[in-house]
Structure 1
Amino acid sequence: MGGNTGVVVVGGGYAGVMAANRLARAEGVEVTLVNARAEFVQRIRLHQVAAGTHEAVVEYRKVLSEKVRLVVDSVMEIDARGRVLRTEKGVIGYDYLVYAVGSGAAGQQAPGVREFAYPLASLEEAREVRTALEAAPDARVAVVGGGATGIEIAAELAEQGRRVTLICGGVLNPYLHEKGRETIRERLVGLGVTVLDEAKAAEVTETSVRLADGTLIPSQITVWTAGFSVPDLALRSGLSTDATGRLITDDTLTSIDDEHIVAAGDAAAPKDASYRMGCQSAVQLGPQAAETVLSRIAGTQPAPIHVAFAGQCLSLGRRTGVFQISERDDTAKASHLRGRTGGVVKEFICRSTVWQLAFEARKAGKSKNSKGQGEKPKDSHRQQPVAAH
């Protein structure tokens, strides 16, 4: 790495790409992004991949600064003492590490889930759902999980004429205000979706889902969207994690174990803060993680993080959606956009998130900063919130 400071970002999702692009602005910093895939995945479009209406991948050259070195590899272990990553293909050294490994489907203990249900938290999983649906055009579908992903895939499939049952497990998307919830329920029912509130899936078989009260729901294809978990890389590397496996940090996103490790996105557990998982928090935490690294390189005190929310957008088919407006602290308001307007807003959000990554990449590529590493751009810690999941 010569005389430069080497920063490695692990994970090429929303937070990782934003962090890498922000780091690339600084002089004297060499940035490497390590990701298992050679393409960027728009996770907020995975329900469209499953339904066959979008591919949800973007070439990294369109969203990643030309100053960032992309390494397609999987990290197996973090050696914090030696500042080395052990990967499937070898080892990668670092001076500072940004831990942005994201999240995946939550592990499920209910009988039959692993054998017969299709999770929907990664591109591969979404493609498997699509393959199963294409092979069985008349199959009944049960979607387990009444959160944003469950609602979106249920609406997408019902709009295509599928017979869909949505098993919520509790209240339909508890994040929403009651008014927004009723709007979504009306749309789902209008599409023919059977919405089961407070119904819990107890077992999945090849042809049905058995509820906790013994009711059998016919289902030849069961899509499982009930919750997210994070990779166990930090845990198996001996770093401090919370109960869900997220890396525990202070209020600057710095690991409580090692000031050379900074976290961002779904896999970060900041002190005294609990942010909803999703790209809305990720695109804000990514740049702030980068600023923390740059401050530490410069020998200055990093600023505490701040995340401001705008709401939650959900698509309800290709032309309709809901934008649930929230307070900046992520508390849902009574007001929301609906119908065609909500659908337009959701599609704009999906596109603008990619534009946001590309904009940060271009700023890094054109940076003329000559004041040295650690200088903060004027918009530091003021990333605009994106109203998505």
Structure 2
Amino acid sequence: MAEHTSATNVPNVTGAADVAHVTNVVVIGGGYAGVMAANRLTQRDDVTVTVINPRRSFVPRLRLHQLVAGTHEAVVDYATVLADGVRLRVDTVDRIDAAGRGVTLASGDTLAYDYLIYAAGSGSTVPQVPGAAAFAYPIDTLETARRLRAVLEDTPLSSPVTVVGGGPTGIETAAELAERGRGVTLACGGALGPYLHPRARRTAAKRLAELGVTVLEGPGTKVTAVTADAVQLADGRRLDAHVTVWSTGFGVPDLAARSGLSTDAVGRLLTDETLTSVDDERILAAGDSAAPSDLPFRMGAYGAGCLGAHAADTVLARLAGQRPERVKLSFPAMCVSLGRRTAIFQLAHKDDTAMRLYVPGRAGAKLKEFSCEASVKHLVHEAAKPGSHRWPTNDAHRRAQLAERGGTPDAPVQAVVKAAAGHTA
């Protein structure tokens, strides 16, 4: 594909008869956040959008545990979710040149931009446990999930499988594999489903037991070593494991840090409350790789889509000569599947803590499936009607958090964010 070149920008008034200038927006990442942002930007005909993504298909990551078990392929054609006119560049960004407003690709090409949306997403953290990198199988990407599926297809059902991690991914993977007839041990390394309300947690434990999953909870169940046929726990126990699945949480790419941009302690791009980089107003962040005011939102598809839309709105506001709004986002629920026939739909307070109220069983499974389908349908709908996506907004809790940090949502937060993060760049 030919190199992209950006024109000098003078923002136009939307609807002007003569579109003399074009604003070139580059979006790094073609996940929920990147696709939503790209689609929303097509509201203006004087904006061109290029999405840079390492693969040709959109991956609904909510389905990766199903891919492992063979109940879903976890791919969607980009033609289905990307708006007409959005360019897809299959490549990887090696470096961001903020001063020169360009990105260098792994292929050696460079793309210029007027605005950059950093939606690089997240993946498994690099295992620090001895043997984990060599013998455990993460499932954070399409490629790693396919690799694990191939391994399991060559592994007898009678061979023991250990899933490491008691969060949603670990629970869903353990349940999915057990429902397919495998003997599974879930080593939580702490509590089972720590986000869930204790009542919902008990329901999850009961269902996992019904599926035959051995659930090991408590600090002693932290994995301290992995070998080709076993895992070692902190309490000294050794678990037979012909296959070990690694699902202990997510990390983010180091692209922002490598490019000299300010990041939080784990590498998320530091932004203000409009999702604008604290270093450069032409760079915005969305999704799992964004850290607004060094108080990042919960990682996940729902939040990623909402943040992608808001990042696009910030760009559009600036092009229209308007003041961008600060992000307002609440999390109404969390869904955790327990196989194909049951799930837990956990309702949440506006501060993103679990309520006593949750929907279990088949009704929960229907809500979970609805949520998975909706995560893609929202992108499709935004492609057809850019600007249409809406989400619950309540920021009283976030205002309180910012006040505790010595900042306010409406004031410039660059100095506050950098001080809080201890960043010196």
State how far apart, in whole Å, the 2-side matches of 1:384 and 1:345 are: 17
Question: How many Å apart are 1:15 and its aligned residue?
Answer: 0.4
1:82-101 to 2 correspondences below 5 Å? 82-89=100-107, 90-101=109-120
Any conservation in 1 of the 2:119–2:285 contact (CA below 8 Å)? yes
Q: Which residue of 2 aligns with 1:322?
A: 344
Partner residue in 2 for 1:118: 137
| Residues 324-356 of structure 1: per-residue CA shift (max 9 Å, x gap) | 111132110001111111111111111111111
Residues 1:62 and 2:84 aligned together: no
User: What is residue 372 of structure 1 aligned with on the other side?
Assistant: none
Look up the match of 1:354.
376
Q: Distance in 2 between matches of 1:343 and 1:25?
A: 36
Give the TM-score normalised by the residue count of structure 2: 0.86
In 2, Cα distance between the equivalents of 1:27 and 1:271?
Answer: 32
Q: Deviations over 1:247-272 (max 9, x none)?
A: 00001100000000000000000015
| Structure 1 match to 2:401 | none
Instruction: Quote the Cα distance in structure 1 between the aligned partners of 2:246 and 2:359.
Output: 28
The equivalent residue for 1:370 is none
Distance in 1 between residues matched to 2:375 and 2:138, nearest whole Å: 24
- Residue 285 of structure 2 aligns with which residue? 263
Following the alignment from structure 2 to structure 1, what is the Cα–Cα distance between the partners of residues 176 and 139? 14
How big is each residue's C-alpha offset from its partner over 1:17-46, in whole Å with a ceiling of 9 and x where there is no partner?
A: 000000011231111111111110010000
How many Å apart are 1:139 and its aligned residue?
1.6
Alignment of 1:1-389 (within 5 A): 1=6, 3-89=21-107, 90-137=109-156, 138-198=158-218, 199-271=221-293, 273-364=295-386, 377=387, 382-384=390-392
Letter in 2 for 1:353: S
- Give per-residue Cα distances to partners, 1:143-189, cap 9 Å, x unaligned: 00000000000000111111100000111111110011011000001
Query: In structure 2, what residue type is equivalent to 1:289?
Result: A
Contact 2:225 / 2:231 at 8 angstroms: preserved in 1? yes
CA distance in 2, matches of 1:307, 1:27: 28
- The number of residue pairs the alignment matches comes to 371
1:287–1:383 CA contact under 8 A, matched in 2? no
Shift, 1:383, TM fit = 2.7
Q: Is the 8 A contact 1:283 1:383 kept in 2?
A: no
Question: Given that residues 284 and 384 in structure 1 are in contact (C-alpha distance below 8 angstroms), is that contact kept between their aligned partners in structure 2?
Answer: no
Tell me if structure 1 keeps the 8 A contact 2:98–2:280.
yes
Matched position secondary structure for 2:88: strand
Q: 2:197 corresponds to which letter in structure 1?
A: H
| Residues in 2 aligned to 1:286 and 1:211: alpha-carbon distance in whole angstroms | 39
Q: In structure 2, the residue corresponding to 1:306 is in which secondary structure?
A: coil
What RMSD, in angstroms, separates the aligned Cα atoms of the two structures? 1.2
- The Cα offsets for residues 215-241 of structure 1, whole Å up to 9 and x where unpaired, read as 001101000000110000001000001
Counterpart-to-counterpart distance in 2, 1:274 and 1:183: 29
Q: Determine helix, strand or coil for the equivalent of 1:46.
A: helix
Local SS of the residue matching 2:385: helix
Paired residue secondary structure (2:196) = coil
Looking at structure 1, the residues matched to 198 and 248 of structure 2 have their Cα atoms a distance apart, in angstroms, of: 21
Checking the alignment, whether the CA contact within 8 Å between 1:133 and 1:139 is kept in structure 2 is no
Residue 103 of structure 2 aligns to a residue in which SS?
A: strand
Per-residue deviation, residues 54-97 of structure 1 (Å, max 9, x unmatched)? 00100001000012111111100000000010002200000000
Return the alpha-carbon distance in structure 1 between the equivalents of residues 379 and 278 of structure 2.
29
State the alpha-carbon separation in 1 of the partners of residues 193 and 334 from structure 2: 11
Tell me how far apart the structure 2 counterparts of residues 160 and 54 of structure 1 sit (CA, whole Å).
Answer: 13
> How many Å separate the matches in 2 of 1:284 and 1:109?
32
TM-score by length of 1: 0.93
Task: Tell me how far apart the structure 1 counterparts of residues 113 and 299 of structure 2 sit (CA, whole Å).
Answer: 27
Structure 2: distance between partners of 1:251 and 1:320 = 38
Higher relative contact order (CA 8 A, sep 6+): 1
What do the CA deviations read for 1:353-389 (whole angstroms, capped 9, x no partner)?
Answer: 111100000114xxxxxxxxxxxx5x68x4359xxxx
Percent of paired sites with the same residue: 55
Aligned partner letter, 1:55: E
Q: Which amino acid aligns with 1:156?
A: E
Distance 1:332 1:19 in 2: 29
